[in-house]
Amino acid sequence: MRDVSMGQYYPTKSPVHKMDARAKLVFVILYIVMLFLVPSLDNYLGGGGRLGEYMVKSGLSFGVVTLFLLVAIIFSKVPLMKVLKSVKAVVYLVIITAVIMLLFYSGKANHVYATWGIITISLEGIVSAIVMAVRLFLLVMGPALLSLTTTPVELTDGIESLLSPLKLIKIPVHDIAIIMSIALRLIPTMIEETDKITNAQKARLAEFDDGNVFKKAKAMIPVLVPLLTSSFRRADELAYAMDSRCYGGAKNRTRMRVMRLSYRDAIALVVIAAVFFAVLTFVYDYFGVATFISEWAYTLL
């Protein structure tokens, strides 16, 4: 659970930490949209595109997004390994999905290397697996950087501010924000509780690292059951504490720190707009850059 980056704030002084939480939330949404602008290989080839052009377009697009993410990490002063650690929680899922896509590619394969029954290894399958893996890795690292540079309070205040128009249709935005704030605050507590339960089980000679996958999963049951019990107990105690203090989600609650947009947010907006335009240019080939590079690569080959 220490690989879970949500709620794990990294305190330091950086331009990214000082940005408005609302701006960072909007930028992360645009970042995710950029990752999904690159279409899947099946849809691209089905639309009459060529494999070489798809490889160039996806490579350039993901390259620009990766460069933008690295620059953001540098300016945030968060260690790169701290951000990469967030990928560890999903690395096995990404590997399994990539292997399945590689062996059982469902699209039309024109460059087949080997075939065994329903298993087919092709260049199209390899490209699809790589694109999917890169997309998922970048998809995890972007929000991880957001949580590392934004406190849970700032994050929930920003979400509440962005969702404030929904109050017009009687949606309890403040209550939703409070629920998210409590959930984020309890993540470090859950991690600490997991460590205590695991150490207590190890003291009783419990083994978590030996055996196959099924034995390891079975060994986690003595940890999960007390963890769930402790979580429900903490939830009840928190509910009683809030009720005894007559908390009712009063309207127009004030905040200790008022959120204000600054020049940093304007500069970041210009940068992410440029990156977004670059990804659109490469994906839809507005100026023929991807076509030129792919044709040049064909001539070299």
Q: Tell whether 145 and 266 lie within a shared domain.
A: yes
| Between residues 114 and 26, the one the model is more confident about | 26
Q: Tell whether 30 and 86 lie within a shared domain.
A: yes
**Average confidence (pLDDT) over 291-296:** 71
123: which residues sit within 8 A by CB, 6+ positions away? 51, 109, 110, 111, 113
Predicted local distance difference test score (pLDDT) of residue 70: 93
Query: Measured between alpha carbons, how far is 166 from 151 in angstroms, rounded to an integer?
Result: 24
Q: Tell whether 136 and 266 lie within a shared domain.
A: yes
In degrees and rounded to multiples of 5, residue 104 shows phi and psi of: -125, 50
Strand partners, 120: 104, 115
pTM comes to 0.79
Q: Tell whether 68 and 194 lie within a shared domain.
A: no
- Check whether 95 has a pLDDT greater than 60: yes
Q: Are 8 and 155 in contact (CB under 8 A)?
A: no
In a domain, 189, yes or no: yes
- Amino acid letter, 266: A
In a domain, 156, yes or no: no
| pLDDT level of residue 122 (50, 70, 90 thresholds) | confident
Query: Measured between alpha carbons, how far is 55 from 61 in angstroms, rounded to an integer?
Result: 10
- Check whether 68 has a pLDDT greater than 90: yes
User: Which segment of 10-14, 154-158, 202-206 scores lowest on mean pLDDT?
Assistant: 202-206
Q: Tell whether 74 and 198 lie within a shared domain.
A: no
| Between residues 160 and 249, the one the model is more confident about | 160
User: Which segment of 56-65, 141-150, 176-185 scores lowest on mean pLDDT?
Assistant: 176-185
In degrees and rounded to multiples of 5, residue 112 shows phi and psi of: -95, 130
| pLDDT level of residue 98 (50, 70, 90 thresholds) | confident
Predicted local distance difference test score (pLDDT) of residue 5: 55
| pLDDT level of residue 107 (50, 70, 90 thresholds) | low
Q: Tell whether 134 and 272 lie within a shared domain.
A: yes
Query: Measured between alpha carbons, how far is 286 from 293 in angstroms, rounded to an integer?
Result: 13
Q: Tell whether 229 and 277 lie within a shared domain.
A: no
Residue with tokens 């507590």: 189
In a domain, 274, yes or no: yes
In a domain, 214, yes or no: yes
- Check whether 178 has a pLDDT greater than 90: no
In a domain, 10, yes or no: no
Q: Tell whether 268 and 126 lie within a shared domain.
A: yes
In a domain, 249, yes or no: no
Nearest CA to 19 among 72, 85, 80, 84?
Answer: 72
With 0-12 / 13-18 / 19 or more C-beta atoms within 10 angstroms meaning exposed / middle / buried, residue 300 is: exposed
Number of domains in the chain: 2
Q: Tell whether 119 and 233 lie within a shared domain.
A: no
Q: 55 by DSSP, 3-state: which? A: helix
- Domain of residue 109 covers 21-149+262-300
Q: Tell whether 138 and 188 lie within a shared domain.
A: no
In a domain, 46, yes or no: yes
- Check whether 252 has a pLDDT greater than 70: no
Q: Tell whether 271 and 232 lie within a shared domain.
A: no
Predicted local distance difference test score (pLDDT) of residue 195: 82
Q: Tell whether 53 and 137 lie within a shared domain.
A: yes
| pLDDT level of residue 67 (50, 70, 90 thresholds) | very high
- Check whether 61 has a pLDDT greater than 80: yes
In a domain, 111, yes or no: yes
In degrees and rounded to multiples of 5, residue 284 shows phi and psi of: -100, 0
